[in-house]
């Protein structure tokens, strides 16, 4: 097997903007099938990937599982675990868009099923390959900041009028709300950098009246190693804060603005179009130093394609997946603790 035939279940934002272009850009993968019930999205898939098989429901994938080598689940959160179970039962390796499930119990069940079936299971955490995050990680690892004391990370936007999708009008059981959306990335980045946590404190607010879940989130983590992470996600921030601020004993690192890869993908650009990918304009570089001496630091190129490159190596060469499912479980545990903290107005330590 030299090329992996990939079936993508769900062709909304996640499936069409993030997964399909990255799969297609990986030389050892092919977008073989797309599952969507939307006629408009079906036409879009056929135009973007000539020869792709367009299916009306996921049953068509699992009843013909031998045609595929990998399933990507890019559906609303509530369907993640049930569809992943079906993929595992069909013997198909599976990528699940974050979060892997909507509860820790669901996640642990998936992991156990995948281990028993000896099927690869991973979760799509593309923001581990944001350029600013890669740069911060390098600065932390090479000692440029000294001993890290505080990590601040934000995903904020100004959207005073909601769009009304399931993420805004759904329930906890749907995995709706910003905590489970952008919060999944924020917590994953913090755990990736600084490891497990001893305590979680959270504030989850619903600021807009036409939604039913959280749209303004703050989470404070105390890591076992002593680092404190302060994380924000908001749809109602009229002024945006720094994207990252990392404070150490010797220096800090400060960045503004989002990694450009998402905007590039949304605009129709592709990682394999022959042009440089993931580059940040020099005027948007982060700043390193301690007052009064600050220096711009070139931002490393973002690399979302690295996720599927690593997955191809895992499935074809026996390498490890880039995001082990146990790490997705750790993220979900923190998200559940954050919900409990906000509900009880306490610091959660278990």
Q: pLDDT tens digits for 9-65?
A: 999 999 999 999 999 999 999 999 999 999 999 999 999 999 999 999 999 999 999
Whether residues 36 and 120 fall in one domain: yes
The pLDDT of residue 1: 61
Distance CA 90, CA 316 (A): 19
**120 located within any domain:** yes
Taken in order 273, 274, 280, 283, the sign of the CA dihedral is negative
Domain that holds residue 208: 133-301
| DSSP state string for 51-99 | T-EEESSTHHHHTTGGG-SEEEE-S-GGGHHHHHHHHHHTT--EEEESS
Whether residues 47 and 83 fall in one domain: yes
- Average pLDDT of every residue of the chain: 97
pTM metric for this prediction: 0.96
Distance CA 110, CA 112 (A): 5
The pLDDT of residue 164: 85
**349 located within any domain:** no
pLDDT in tens, 277-294: 999 999 999 999 999 999
Q: Buried (b) or exposed (e) across 287-312, using 16+ Cβ within 10 A?
A: bbbeeeeeeebebbbbbbbbbbbbbb
Q: Does the pLDDT of residue 2 top 90, yes or no?
A: no
Whether residues 62 and 120 fall in one domain: yes
The pLDDT of residue 6: 98
Whether residues 58 and 169 fall in one domain: no
**331 located within any domain:** no
**263 located within any domain:** yes
Q: Across residues 96-107, what is the average pLDDT?
A: 96
Specify the number of domains making up the chain: 2
Whether residues 148 and 273 fall in one domain: yes
* H or E segment to which residue 234 belongs: strand 228-234
Whether residues 137 and 78 fall in one domain: no
**338 located within any domain:** no
**201 located within any domain:** yes
Q: Does the pLDDT of residue 341 top 70, yes or no?
A: yes
Question: What CATH number is associated with residue 186?
Answer: 3.30.360.10
Distance CA 127, CA 190 (A): 11
Question: What CATH number is associated with residue 68?
Answer: 3.40.50.720
* Tokens 């979900």 belong to residue: 332
Whether residues 78 and 200 fall in one domain: no
Q: Across residues 264-272, what is the average pLDDT?
A: 95
Whether residues 120 and 202 fall in one domain: no
The pLDDT of residue 80: 97
């Amino acid at each position: 097997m030299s090329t992996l035939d990939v079936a993508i279940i769900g062709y909304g934002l996640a499936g069409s903007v993030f997964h399909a272009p990255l799969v297609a850009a990986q030389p050892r993968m092919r977008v073989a099938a797309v599952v969507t019930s939307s006629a408009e999205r079906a036409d879009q898939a056929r135009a973007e990937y000539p020869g792709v098989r367009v299916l009306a429901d996921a049953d068509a994938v699992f009843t013909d599982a031998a045609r595929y080598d990998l399933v990507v689940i890019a559906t609303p959160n509530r369907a993640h675990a049930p569809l992943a179970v079906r993929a595992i039962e069909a013997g198909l390796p599976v990528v699940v868009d974050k979060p892997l499930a909507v509860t820790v119990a669901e996640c642990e069940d998936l992991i156990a099923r995948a281990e028993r079936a000896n099927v690869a299971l991973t979760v799509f955490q593309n923001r581990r390959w944001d350029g600013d995050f890669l740069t911060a990680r390098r600065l932390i690892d090479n000692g440029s900041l000294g001993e890290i004391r505080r990590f601040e990370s934000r995903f904020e936007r100004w959207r005073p009028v909601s769009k009304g999708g399931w993420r805004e009008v759904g329930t906890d059981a749907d995995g709706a709300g910003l905590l489970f959306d952008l919060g999944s990335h924020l917590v994953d980045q913090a755990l990736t950098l600084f490891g497990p946590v001893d305590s979680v404190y959270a504030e989850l607010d619903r600021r807009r009246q036409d939604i039913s879940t959280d749209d303004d989130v703050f989470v404070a983590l105390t890591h076992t190693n002593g680092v404190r992470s302060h994380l924000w996600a908001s749809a109602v921030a009229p002024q945006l804060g720094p994207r990252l601020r990392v404070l150490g004993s010797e220096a800090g690192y400060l960045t503004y603005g989002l990694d450009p890869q998402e905007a590039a993908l949304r605009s129709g650009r592709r990682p394999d179009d022959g042009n440089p990918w993931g580059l940040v304009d020099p005027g948007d570089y982060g700043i390193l130093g301690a007052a009064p001496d600050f220096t711009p630091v070139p931002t490393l190129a973002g690399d979302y394609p690295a996720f599927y490159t690593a997955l191809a190596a895992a499935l074809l060469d026996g390498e490890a997946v880039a995001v082990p499912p146990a790490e997705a479980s750790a993220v979900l545990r923190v998200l559940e603790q954050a919900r409990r903290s906000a509900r009880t107005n306490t610091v959660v330590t278990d």
